[in-house]
Structure 1
Amino acid sequence: MNDQQDGTTSGPPAPDRPAPPRLGPRPLARPPVDAGEVSAFGRPAGVDGGFAQRPPRNGAAAPGSSPAGPPPAALASAFGRPDGDVAALQRPPRPGQDGPDRPPAFWDDPAAPAEEDPWRDPGSGAELGPPPVAGPVPAPPPSGPGARLSVREVLFGRRVHPRALALLAFVALLIGAAGGLVGRLTAEGASGLTTPDATIAQATNAKERPPGSVAAIAARVVPAVVSLEIRVGDQGGTGSGVVIDPAGYVLTNNHVVAPAAQVPGATVEAVFSDGSRAPAQIVGRDPKTDLAVVKVAVANPTVAQIGSSGALAVGDAVLAVGSPLGLAGTVTDGIVSAVDRPVRLDGGGNTGDAVIDAIQTDAAINPGNSGGPLVDSTGAVVGINTAIRSLGQGEGGSIGLGFAIPIDDARRIAEQLIRAGVVRHAELGVNAKSVTDGATDGAQVQNVVQGGAAAAAGIVEGDVIVRVGERAIAGADELVVAVRELEPGQNVSIQLIRDGRPLAVTAVLTAD
């Protein structure tokens, strides 16, 4: 039966038709082989198959292979059978039991056939046994010095020879004797420096820098104190000042800034406690009270606390802060030695009529302290340091007599200088000198200014003024400060002595 498929007829070809040609296999592509790879991974010489042919048991070499050489003597000695031993490798060596009555081997034991032995059954599953028991770990060999002997082992353990013990005791005695000798010599040499019965004073525990201490007050006041440097040509000078207003107003002495005010081109510079500098402009001066105000263009300066000089008493503790001899930030302490002490100032840019009603203090004040603050125990400014009393020419240092302008007077003067630049003082219109008769002190009138307040009140030359208002007058300087504490145009009662008789008059003070 013929089947038709794709236009061809299956079955044997007809005798009159030739068979169709058959395609041969495609030749294999054999890439070239590197000679190095052949040397490393190729077959040995003479081996053509995939595995080397094993030589037959009779020792004859297989066709196409070379027989293996005898094993090395070392391997044959280590792993070969003993000479004359023909037993199979599977037979366990049991000396004395090689006869027919020997027990069967474990693979021939009928009680444990091979089919039930999991070690010989290739189809048995894997089983995990207990972990191996580690044997004792051998101790490492000692790498350092051996164990040391104790004192008991040395003395009683008979591990040290008696002669070695005797030698050790002798060396110890020798070292002790040498140390004792050196100690005795050292003690004898030092006996002249110390005595065994010396008594050392005990120091008590004290709290450092309490709130009222000098250190605590200085820490608050010093930032508000400035050092003023005046340049006049190629010369200069120093003084002090204290900031009294957040706008940068600094209160100081007139004699500190007077040279800069009198010479064109002179400059004033303020140096603060942190070292910063700023130029200062003179706002106003009052030579009669030796006060002046300068202004410094700084933002948010530290301002001193202003106190009251009227509450001061002799003996109160005070501090003087300033730049004596150019040493900025210097603080000295003392007490109030006297109050209401009239002091006439000499020169230094002031007029001959410069008189202050001063606070006297023994706090050390030296040149350069002028213009700095005198503060009380609370840190408030109670005065402006102005003058000192010295022993004479060449003895200009502090001798414990310093004078400061009371802050009650200085504040009033500073306010007028800031507002107007000048100050108007009350005037009586007389010149006087200090006199005493042994019982009464006063100021004797030397001359009377025509048209002045004294002339209008009927005061004449020779009168001795002993009281102005509520204040007793003990001298000419005290008369000046007593009048300047009052206001121009104010009525004041004046008591005087004329020709030995007391007399009281009323004067209307004028302005200078």
Structure 2
Amino acid sequence: MARPRPPVALPPEAVLRAFAPRDGQSGLGLPPGGRPGARRTSSGPWWKPDAAADPWRDPLAPSSLGRPAEYVEESEPQGPIQVDAKGRRRLRLGDITLPVAVIAVLSLLFVAALGGTLSWYLGRTATESPLLTANTQLSEVSPGISRAPGSVADIAQQVGPAVVSIEVRVGDSGATGSGVVVDAENGYIITNNHVVSGADDVEGAEIRAVFSDGSGSDARIVGRDPASDIAVIKVEKPGLVAASLATAGSVVVGDPVVAIGSPLGLAGTVTSGIVSALDRPVRLSGEGSDTNAVISAIQTDAPINPGNSGGALVDGTGAVIGINTAIASLGGSGTTGGSIGLGFAIPIDTARDIAEQLISTGTAVHASLGVQARSVTDGARDGALVVNVEPGSPAEAAGIEEQDVIIAVDGTPVGSSEELQVAVDSKSPGDTVTVELVRDGGSSTEVQATLTTA
């Protein structure tokens, strides 16, 4: 059953005027000036004999818009190679057919087998080179090494021959230390008292100095001073090399230093560091010797170990600024244990003064105030509490009493018993010093004391 024709809307008036039939014609009218023709002509290229009946040219022909065109999307491409949204081709393994997969695996196995076979064959047939080659000479170069003056290497070459290793044997026991040649002509060597004290006046004891060239010589004790931990020994050996000794005030904190000695029995060992502090009061005592000293030490971070005792602490010019004597140890000992970066040396001025006295007389003298003290503090001020005053001592003569707290000597602050001993020891017997003290918690007062020989 045919559908009814939809109503047709009249064309616009301009279209009707242009194409309406004229002179009783029906259908679509000719354009103005046009004429029908049997064929297409230049004057009427669009008109055929049946053009008037062509519904596409008839403005009154029924027409309407249908539904928009529909496009059926192509289904996802089939096959193992896929194209993503960015146009990249990817292989989807799930779509690979079994025969293709089998062929690929067999191909890989074939290539692997072929490679392995070739490797085995070439390894079997290759000619091996001889294991040993006669007259072999390896390459070598001679680079220019610069050892500038003042370098550690330069200092070690200068001072090394003047530093000796000291071996002490008493019965079946032995010990080692170090020493510094200070008088090449007479064979005098400075070392620490605690290095040689165990062999003094002991029958059968032996002291031997071993030099940088490996030669050795028996040594005798010239003198030793337990109050400063300095001793001097003497060898009978020609051709010695003496060290250069520095002077007071030649070193400041931060100066580079080199320690040379025989730590742990390893002769000729060189370590380096800096001066990390000056005038550090350090108490030395015991350790199998009669050493009982408080020194105003040079502190250094150059590694120092047992056996360095008596060796040289040298500045950048190669001059000896101190005699290594102790190390700080977590075990609380100043002469045993291992280096933890805190070593102490007796300033060369002190060592020189004591050594000159020992070489001249065999003994050394020290100034004394005549008190025994211990370190105290009240939280605001430190000092040395007098616990005993020796009868007839300079302290008694000056009116110093027990329980007084000494806080300065000649204007130099005293914050501990060690600092008091260092301050007094820096003076000479017969010197008069001003002692500032506090009594019964009151204000400070000053007294004069004339020091005597300890």
Aligned to 2:349: 408
Which letter does structure 1 place at the counterpart of 2:218?
Answer: P
CA contact (8 A) 1:287 1:349 kept: no
**TM-score if structure 2 supplies the norm length?**
0.66
TM-aligned CA deviation for residue 469 of structure 1: 1.5
Alignment of 1:67-146 (within 5 A): none
Q: Which SS does the other structure have where 1:325 is aligned?
A: helix
CA distance in 1, matches of 2:377, 2:387: 15
Pair 1:233 & 2:175 matched: no
User: Kindly tell me: are residues 326 and 337 of structure 1, through their superposed partners in 2, closer, same or farther at Cα, counting changes over 3 Å?
Assistant: same
User: Kindly tell me: are residues 206 and 343 of structure 1, through their superposed partners in 2, closer, same or farther at Cα, counting changes over 3 Å?
Assistant: farther
Pair 1:495 & 2:436 matched: yes
Q: Which SS does the other structure have where 2:200 is aligned?
A: helix
Aligned to 2:40: none
CA distance in 2, matches of 1:504, 1:464: 11
CA distance in 2, matches of 1:436, 1:231: 45
2:404 equivalent among 432, 450, 463 = 463
Residue by residue over 1:139-191, the C-alpha shift from the partner in whole angstroms, topping out at 9 and shown as x without a partner, is: xxxxxxxxxxxxxxxxxxxxxxxxxxxxxxxxxxxxxxx9xx99xxxxxxxxx
CA contact (8 A) 1:254 1:349 kept: no
CA contact (8 A) 2:197 2:290 kept: no
Aligned to 2:198: 259
CA distance in 2, matches of 1:337, 1:392: 21
User: Kindly tell me: are residues 364 and 309 of structure 1, through their superposed partners in 2, closer, same or farther at Cα, counting changes over 3 Å?
Assistant: farther
CA distance in 1, matches of 2:291, 2:354: 19
Alignment of 1:11-410 (within 5 A): 208-246=146-184, 247-351=186-290, 353-392=292-331, 396-410=337-351
TM-aligned CA deviation for residue 348 of structure 1: 2.9
Q: Which SS does the other structure have where 2:306 is aligned?
A: coil
**Please, which moves more after superposition, 494-503 or 216-225?**
494-503
Residue by residue over 1:178-228, the C-alpha shift from the partner in whole angstroms, topping out at 9 and shown as x without a partner, is: 9xx99xxxxxxxxxxxxxxxxxxxxxx996211111000100000000000
Greater share of residues in strand: 2
CA contact (8 A) 1:225 1:321 kept: yes
Identical aligned residues as a percent: 61
Which letter does structure 2 place at the counterpart of 1:305?
Answer: S
Q: Which SS does the other structure have where 2:246 is aligned?
A: coil
Structure 1's consecutive aligned runs of 4 or more residues displaced over 6 angstroms after TM superposition are none
2:381 equivalent among 440, 444, 456 = 440
CA distance in 2, matches of 1:349, 1:423: 21
User: Kindly tell me: are residues 282 and 353 of structure 1, through their superposed partners in 2, closer, same or farther at Cα, counting changes over 3 Å?
Assistant: closer
Which letter does structure 2 place at the counterpart of 1:232?
Answer: V
**TM-score if structure 1 supplies the norm length?**
0.59
CA distance in 2, matches of 1:397, 1:349: 18
CA distance in 2, matches of 1:281, 1:470: 42
CA contact (8 A) 1:290 1:350 kept: no
Aligned to 1:171: none
CA distance in 2, matches of 1:351, 1:477: 18
Aligned to 2:358: 417
Q: For this pair of structures, how many residues does the alignment match?
A: 311
Which letter does structure 2 place at the counterpart of 1:233?
Answer: G
Identify which of structures 1 and 2 has the higher relative contact order when contacts are C-alpha pairs closer than 8 Å and 6+ apart. 2
User: Kindly tell me: are residues 473 and 393 of structure 1, through their superposed partners in 2, closer, same or farther at Cα, counting changes over 3 Å?
Assistant: closer
CA distance in 1, matches of 2:183, 2:298: 23
TM-aligned CA deviation for residue 300 of structure 1: 2.8
Mark the structure with the bigger radius of gyration: 1
TM-aligned CA deviation for residue 349 of structure 1: 4.7
CA contact (8 A) 1:224 1:301 kept: yes
Residue by residue over 1:368-394, the C-alpha shift from the partner in whole angstroms, topping out at 9 and shown as x without a partner, is: 000001000111000000000111179
TM-aligned CA deviation for residue 439 of structure 1: 1.7
Kindly report the root-mean-square deviation, in angstroms, between the aligned alpha carbons of the 2 structures: 1.9
CA contact (8 A) 2:218 2:235 kept: yes
CA contact (8 A) 2:253 2:278 kept: yes
CA distance in 1, matches of 2:298, 2:248: 8
CA contact (8 A) 1:310 1:408 kept: no
Which letter does structure 1 place at the counterpart of 2:182?
Answer: I
2:422 equivalent among 471, 476, 481 = 481
